[in-house]
Homo-oligomer: A and B are copies of this chain.
Amino acid sequence: MNNKTSSGNFLEDFRLDQEIRHATPRTVGWGDVALYTALYGSRFPVFSGDSFSRKLGLKRAPVEDLLAFHIVFGKTVPDISLNAVANLGYAECRWMAPVYPGDTLHAVSRVIGIKENSNRKTGVVYVRSQGYKDGDELVLDYVRWVMVKKRNESTPLVAERVPQPASAVRPEQLRVPAGIDFSKYDYEMAGSPHAWEDYAVGEKIDHMDGSTIEEAEHQMATRLYQNTAKVHFDQHRQGQERLGRRLVYGGHVISLVRSLSFNGLGNATFVAAINGGRHINPTVAGDTIYAWSEVTDKAEIPGRKDVGALRIRTLALKNHPADGFPDKNSEGNYPDNAVLSLDYWVLMPRR
């Protein structure tokens, strides 16, 4: 008879090049699609209507890119980040193929780096996580690094390695879903007239609308993703911590911001890659989220005249509208109410 409960992995439990097959394959269904809509109100048309997607050459409406991300990410939590002190970064995140209702997702991670901190109480583990659907088709690929507690300060670490994730995904690495033809894109049905050509590098967009987060919403979202991180669900224990409140899953804020971004980036059809992201300040229920974006780069997709890529930096704020584009000051410090900075590539139809 041994202890049956899992308390997750600590820094010394990880080995370089270790491969972790994460638990709980998850069939994504029509219910997830509806809940995602109810939680974020997304209107990106490719994910909303089968007819719109079929006209472009897809078999039906796939599920939102970020829903697939959250489900894959959730699978990694029990193995990678149950003892995380902080989520330090994401990089090289690419969507490789659309996920459709009925597909079953599973996730695998490889440990690509380990580094002990000088305090010897914590360290950083770097993983490359991959999401697959039935038949082992790769759908998502990203690098993530988290600060993790050590089980025991005196345990010596056998090996260390610090990888250098790319600062950005290169345009030629972006994957356009197979079979899609953006020349068939119906701008009127999409609800936004602006194409890739209409955006200029340096252009800033205030997404205008605000959305207030409720406890029931972020809890339901986070459980939908089978994300088990304790800080999101347990007010009794969180009430005794410094924040005093349940912490909203950072991915919930990302999805909310993506939906808000429809106003101004309505034809940013797919999120193709995330170059990096930072959760600047914690978000709790009751906070109202606003966001603005800047176009930081434009790129052609090799061999395609129907679709291009925009690189976007989005800054999300809590309880403060985004007009005036509040940003880092000259010392590089974000405003107190900044909650998220996200650097990502979207695919957008060309005329």
Kindly provide the distance from the CB of A205 to the nearest chain B CB, expressed in whole angstroms. Answer: 5
Chain A 194-233: CB-based contact to B (< 8 A → 1; otherwise 0): 1000111001011111111011110111111011101001
A206, closest chain B residue (CB): B5
A215, closest chain B residue (CB): B214
With A33-B31, A226-B37: A25-B192 Cβ-Cβ less than 8 Å: no
Contacting residue for A1 out of B27, B200, B210, B215, CB 8 A: B200
Interface flag for A244 (CB, 8 Å): no
Interface flag for A166 (CB, 8 Å): no
A286 near B37 with CB under 8 A, answer no
A38 near B223 with CB under 8 A, answer yes
Query: 8 Å CB contacts to B: which residues of A231-273?
Result: 233-237, 246, 263-265
Query: 8 Å CB contacts to B: which residues of A17-50?
Result: 21-27, 29-35, 37-43, 45, 48-50
**Distance of A98 Cα from B306 Cα, bound (Å):** 38
A236 near B209 with CB under 8 A, answer no
B43 near A228 with CB under 8 A, answer yes
Interface flag for A137 (CB, 8 Å): no
A263 near B5 with CB under 8 A, answer yes
Interface flag for A61 (CB, 8 Å): yes
Kindly provide the distance from the CB of A71 to the nearest chain B CB, expressed in whole angstroms. Answer: 10
* Copy count, this protein chain: 3
Contacting residue for A216 out of B5, B134, B214, CB 8 A: B214
Query: 8 Å CB contacts to B: which residues of A133-191?
Result: 134, 188-191
A104 near B51 with CB under 8 A, answer yes
Q: Which residues of B contact A117 (CB under 8 A)?
A: none
**Distance of A108 Cα from B67 Cα, bound (Å):** 30
Q: Which residues of B contact A192 (CB under 8 A)?
A: 4, 6, 23
Q: Which residues of B contact A37 (CB under 8 A)?
A: 223-224, 226
Q: Which of A7, A30, A203 has the most CB of B within 10 A?
A: A30
**Distance of A33 Cα from B26 Cα, bound (Å):** 11
Contacting residue for A23 out of B33, B43, B134, B220, CB 8 A: B43
B212 near A234 with CB under 8 A, answer yes
Query: Which 3 residue pairs of A and B lie closest in terms of their CB atoms, listed nearest first?
Result: A31-B34, A23-B191, A25-B49
Q: A24-B45, A24-B49 are in contact. List 15 more A-B contacts (CB 8 A).
A: A2-B194, A4-B265, A5-B263, A6-B263, A23-B189, A27-B50, A27-B61, A41-B227, A41-B233, A48-B226, A106-B189, A209-B228, A210-B233, A214-B219, A236-B288
Question: Can you list 28 contacts pairing A with B, beta carbon distance less than 8 Å?
Answer: A4-B194, A4-B198, A5-B205, A5-B208, A7-B208, A23-B45, A24-B190, A25-B45, A25-B52, A26-B49, A30-B34, A31-B32, A37-B223, A37-B226, A38-B223, A41-B233, A49-B106, A51-B106, A209-B228, A209-B233, A209-B234, A210-B237, A211-B233, A212-B234, A212-B246, A214-B219, A235-B286, A236-B290
